[in-house]
């Protein structure tokens, strides 16, 4: 096989763009339990090297697992009739914020309900998210395939951030659903410090 210099240049250009935007891992293909374990393990090793706090590592791990599981369950592009979802997964960090980006194909008839569910999550207060979570546990009403609604609510609760999303038109039957979740390490550390101070103050009373 002859070396394709143009292809190599394109790959290196993409690599430079990824590095400039803080992306440390990018994967395109099928998603299963083994892939999820591999990615979470790689992310944990990277955060260990950076001496990241336990609370931050726990949040990042949780978001990765939830987003990957949702892609596996709810992608409308399956690998080789194996009932395994396919899609795009990326993780990175810019300054104090970790981010996870996923993209998978969905049918156009699913867009309205998914968009409505995310907007509902984004507009909810922490107290409302807690009640939505409890309701979803009891009823499982947001997704007819199970877990997607619950996963989105749980991610919003754990990160205390809005879910950033887009629907990119593919053709008359499909859209690409893109979801970005951010985990601000500074906010999480400050929140943990505040809780520790409050606990210490209560113990002293």
* 24-34 pLDDT tens trace: 888 888 877 78
Chain CA centroid to CA 78, Å: 19
HSE value, Cβ hemisphere, 13 Å, CA-based, for 197: 6
C-alpha distances out from residue 166 to 76, 102, 155, 175, Å = 16, 11, 17, 10
Residue 181 has pLDDT above 90, yes or no: yes
Distance CA 169, CA 159 (A): 28
CATH architecture label of 18-188: 2-Layer Sandwich (3.30)
| Predicted pLDDT at 100 | 94
Note the pLDDT tens digit of each residue in 108-154: 998 998 899 899 999 999 999 999 888 888 876 544 444 447 888 99
| Predicted pLDDT at 204 | 67
Please give the residue that has the higher pLDDT: either 82 or 155. Answer: 155
Bridge partners for 103 per DSSP:
88, 178
CB 178 within 8 A of CB 103: yes
Closest C-alpha among 34, 37, 61 to residue 47: 61
Residue 2 has pLDDT above 70, yes or no: yes
Note the pLDDT tens digit of each residue in 32-87: 778 888 888 888 888 888 888 888 898 999 999 888 877 776 667 655 555 556 78
| Predicted pLDDT at 192 | 78
Of the ranges 11-20, 83-92, 146-155, 167-176, which one carries the lowest mean pLDDT score? 146-155
| Predicted pLDDT at 191 | 79
Residue 197 has pLDDT above 90, yes or no: no
Structure tokens at 194: 């505040």
Structure tokens at 64: 């990765």
C-alpha distances out from residue 130 to 6, 28, 126, 155, 188, Å = 52, 33, 6, 12, 19
Q: What's the 3-state SS for the chain? A: CCCCHHHHHHHHHHHHHHHHCCEEEEEEEECCHHHHHHHHHHHHHHHHHCCCCHHHHHHHHHHHHHHHHHHHHHCCCECCCCCCEEEEEEEEEECCEEEEEEEEEEEHHHHHHHHHHHHHHHHCCHHHHHHHHHHHHHHCCCCCCCCHHHHHHHHHHHHCCCCEEEEEECCCCEEEEEEEEEEEHHHHHHHHHHHHHHHHHHHHC
Please give the residue that has the higher pLDDT: either 200 or 39. Answer: 39
Of the ranges 97-101, 174-178, 187-191, which one carries the lowest mean pLDDT score? 187-191
pTM score over 0.85: no
Bridge partners for 92 per DSSP:
23, 99
């Amino acid at each position: 096989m002859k070396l394709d210099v143009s292809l190599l240049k394109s790959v290196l250009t993409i690599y430079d763009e990824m590095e400039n935007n803080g992306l440390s891992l990018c994967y395109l293909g099928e998603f299963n339990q083994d892939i999820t374990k591999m990615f979470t393990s790689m992310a944990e090793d990277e955060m260990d090297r950076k001496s990241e706090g336990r609370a931050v590592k726990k949040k990042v791990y949780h978001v990765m697992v939830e987003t990957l599981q949702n892609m596996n369950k709810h992608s409308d592009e399956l690998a080789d009739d194996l009932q395994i979802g396919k899609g795009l997964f990326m993780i990175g960090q810019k300054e104090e914020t970790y981010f996870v980006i996923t993209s998978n194909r969905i049918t156009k008839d699913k867009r309205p309900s998914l968009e409505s569910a995310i907007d509902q999550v984004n507009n909810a207060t922490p107290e409302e998210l807690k009640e939505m979570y409890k309701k979803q546990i009891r009823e499982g009403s947001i997704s007819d395939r199970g877990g997607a609604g619950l996963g989105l609510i749980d991610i919003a609760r754990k990160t205390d951030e809005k879910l950033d999303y887009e629907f990119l038109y593919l053709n008359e039957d499909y859209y690409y659903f893109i979801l970005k979740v951010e985990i601000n390490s500074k906010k999480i550390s400050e929140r943990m410090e505040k809780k520790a101070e409050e606990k210490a103050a209560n113990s002293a009373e």
